[in-house]
Amino acid sequence: MLRILLTAALLLSPLAHADIRLPKLIGEGMVLQRDTAIPLWGWADVDETVEVRFNGQLVGQVKTKDGRWLLQLPVQQAGGPHQLSFKGRNQIELKDIYFGDVWVASGQSNMEMEMARVAEAFPEDLSSANYPLIRQFKVPQEYNFKAPQQDFSGGKWVAASPQSIDNFSALAFYFGRELFQHNGVPIGILNNALGGSPVEAWMSEEALRAFPEALAEGIKFRDDKHIQSITDADKAKNEQWRADLKGRDPGLNSKTPWYSAALDDSNWQSFTVPGFRPEPFTGVWWLRKSIELTAAQAKEAKTLRLGSVVDADEVYINGKQVGNTTYMYPPRRYELPAGVLKAGANLIAVRVTATNGKTGLIPDKPYWIGTDANPLPLTGQWKMQTAAVAKNLPGDTFIRWKPMGLYNGLLAPLTSLPIKGVIWYQGESNVGAYKDYQPRFTAMIRDWRAKWSEGTGQQNQFPFLFVQLANYLKKTQKPKDSSWAGLREAQRQSLSEANTAMVVAIDKGEWNDIHPVDKKTLGQRLALAARVVALGEKVEYRGPELTSVTAEGQQLKLSFNHSGKGLVLKGTGNSFAIAGADGKYRWAQVQLKDQQLLLSHPDIKAPVKVRYAWADNPEAVLYNSEALPAGPFEAALKP
């Protein structure tokens, strides 16, 4: 009874009243969209009066409605710093506020990929990243299937500096830096990308109603017990699979572990690094290599690079574990602890876990020990031994990728804040169903614009700029259909939506990595597109685009616009393919004449179809004078 009375007294006391609370987006150091009225909102007690001041001047007073309050900050030009204060029963002071251009940076891992991942390629861009007026708000990665969320659990505005730049989206940073260096306008980046996410995860319930199967899939995950049962089952399955292998691995359980220099590995097989095991294999296997170092080399060496490993690895040097990675995609760059290396022989041992039948060390990646300036190669012959064989590990149910979850959790809370536009890099996770992509992607674009109009009261078609999928996987010797090309075509068709632009990336991919490093060039290309679509400038941001296909004897003649001062053909390669009425494509002979392309093949007397760069990993040979590449296309003679 005493406890009940104390609780009641507390609820009736002034201490029980809620303080003013702001959404996480409204915080110190934020960038707000210039040249538009800004909604300012938050939460407080019912009927509490909230007073807002901007640079000390009263903006307005408003009472809460259902515990929420809202008022408008008048239009402001680019610049700062400014201050905002919010006063009710408590007072909140925010400083260092700027007005500029705010961009949502969304999509999957190629947008999420952080500057830390491009450090080897562009080290000076990290060390010199002193841009206090380029600021990122990184959205917590928390899905929700029940309803659009009003706020995030955390997050803060962070300015780009050598100390913070590692965590910035690389593509968004390069995009923002290019624009900032162009016009000096502060840049705000709302980074809500999440690796592996399909387009359906970013669509609202309303947008998904046109795709009932996807909507039904998302609705299943409104059941917390369903989510928990799947999560528990996946965790148990993975732990059991790995524990079984660990228990049967003589490399870990022998009297002399396989990472020990005392082990006699003279009867082990030879294995060439980089490379793959030739036979299907699932389980655990080990690699060993002894390298001789001078005292100076042992003292200088700071880093071990092991490219990329399929699927997971644990790395030991002289019996000490120096790193591990649990899945294949991250680059293996392990910083070495002091004293782990010594003059003379040093043993490197790698425990590799393969989950699904293919395993190895991916070619055309860095394999060395030492420093970036003085790498000592580790390629060549290693010793290899199988430790334990297992059945394939069944895949997980990636709940965070299910339809609607990321829209509700990572996107919806952004829609109350005005933005300049969106930059988007996504599509890899939809390649397997590329025929469904264009209607879903365009439905998402329309829905996002509608939701921002509802949230901010602004009726606008903000710019939506996206990156076409880069080249990936091995090159093909003969023309053939390609799901990657199909997804790229779906992206190209999405340009039918107003105020959209697409950046071509087929010359900036890597055959052996779905996460190509050169986000710098793509950021620059996106910035060119933004200067036209968002800022209204007149610059060329597109590469050559096909305007017509005509027959000229036994040849096809292709005409283009956006050629700048002229087309540039960087070789012919296996890029253009033509087909006759039978639909069988053959690589074409290509001639550039009078700023048009003439295509032919001796076995095709009457070509009627053409494809360019139609492959997983095509040859990019056609550019304009501004060094912008033509995107993939397919076309046919008009009847």
pLDDT of residue 502: 98
pLDDT of residue 458: 76
Mean pLDDT of 253-274: 98
pLDDT tens, position by position, 594-608: 999 999 999 999 999
- What percentage of residues in the chain have a pLDDT greater than 90? 95
How far is the first Cα of the chain from the last one, in angstroms, to the nearest whole number?
A: 89
Mean pLDDT of 533-539: 97
- Which of these three, 370, 389, 408, is where a domain ends? 389
Residues near 597 by beta carbon (within 8 Å), at least 6 away in sequence: 557, 558, 560, 567, 569, 576, 590, 591, 622
Q: Tell me whether residue 299 is in a domain.
A: yes
**How far, in Å, CA of 320 to CA of 338, rounded?**
12
pLDDT tens, position by position, 212-224: 999 999 999 999 9
Asked if 522 contacts 508 with a C-beta cutoff of 8 angstroms, the reply is: yes
**How far, in Å, CA of 230 to CA of 238, rounded?**
12
Looking at residue 181, its amino acid is Q
**How far, in Å, CA of 513 to CA of 234, rounded?**
27
Domain that holds residue 568: 545-636
Judging by beta carbons within 10 Å of its beta carbon (0-12, 13-18, 19+), is residue 79 exposed, middle or buried?
Answer: middle
**How far, in Å, CA of 524 to CA of 503, rounded?**
10
**How far, in Å, CA of 186 to CA of 176, rounded?**
9
Q: Which pLDDT band holds residue 16 (cuts at 50, 70, 90)?
A: very low
Q: Tell me whether residue 251 is in a domain.
A: yes
Q: Which of 201, 215, 227, 206 is nearest to 141 (CA)?
A: 201
Q: Tell me whether residue 366 is in a domain.
A: yes
Tokens 């002399």 correspond to 256
Give the residues across from 337 on adjacent strands.
none
Mean pLDDT of 11-38: 82
pLDDT tens, position by position, 329-345: 999 999 999 999 999 99
Q: Tell me whether residue 473 is in a domain.
A: no
pLDDT tens, position by position, 290-309: 999 999 999 999 999 999 99
Torsion of CA 501, 507, 513, 519, to 10 degrees: -50
Q: Which pLDDT band holds residue 17 (cuts at 50, 70, 90)?
A: low
pLDDT of residue 99: 98
pLDDT of residue 460: 78
pLDDT of residue 210: 98
pLDDT of residue 457: 84
Tokens 């070509």 correspond to 607
- Cα 591 → chain centroid: 38
Mean pLDDT of 368-380: 97
Mean pLDDT of the residues in the chain: 96
- Cα 103 → chain centroid: 15
CATH assignment of the domain containing 286: 2.60.120.260
Q: Tell me whether residue 378 is in a domain.
A: yes
pLDDT of residue 171: 98
Q: Tell me whether residue 397 is in a domain.
A: no
pLDDT tens, position by position, 391-408: 999 999 999 999 999 999
How many domains does the chain divide into? 2
pLDDT of residue 5: 42
pLDDT of residue 7: 41
pLDDT at 536 over 70: yes
Residue 504 token pair: 């071509």
Q: Which pLDDT band holds residue 3 (cuts at 50, 70, 90)?
A: very low
Mean pLDDT of 255-281: 98
Residues near 2 by beta carbon (within 8 Å), at least 6 away in sequence: none
Q: Cα-flanking dihedrals φ and ψ of residue 574, to 5°? A: -100, 75
Mean pLDDT of 75-79: 98
**How far, in Å, CA of 129 to CA of 83, rounded?**
25
- Which of these three, 364, 389, 414, is where a domain ends? 389
pLDDT tens, position by position, 36-51: 999 999 999 998 999 9
Q: Tell me whether residue 300 is in a domain.
A: yes
CATH assignment of the domain containing 550: 2.60.40
Mean pLDDT lowest among 10-24, 332-346, 413-427, 535-549? 10-24
Q: Which helix (H) or strand (E) holds 377?
A: strand 375-377
pLDDT tens, position by position, 148-201: 999 999 999 999 999 999 999 999 999 999 999 999 999 999 999 999 999 999
Q: Which pLDDT band holds residue 573 (cuts at 50, 70, 90)?
A: confident
Side-chain-side CA neighbours of 70 within 13 Å: the count stands at 11
pLDDT at 268 over 50: yes
Q: Which pLDDT band holds residue 11 (cuts at 50, 70, 90)?
A: very low
Give whole-number Cα distances, 531 to 101, 460, 506, in Å: 12, 18, 22
CA 214, 220, 222, 224 torsion: positive or negative? Answer: negative
- Which of these three, 371, 389, 407, is where a domain ends? 389
Q: Tell me whether residue 347 is in a domain.
A: yes
pLDDT at 445 over 80: yes
Residue 520 token pair: 């710098």
**How far, in Å, CA of 305 to CA of 372, rounded?**
10
pLDDT of residue 51: 97
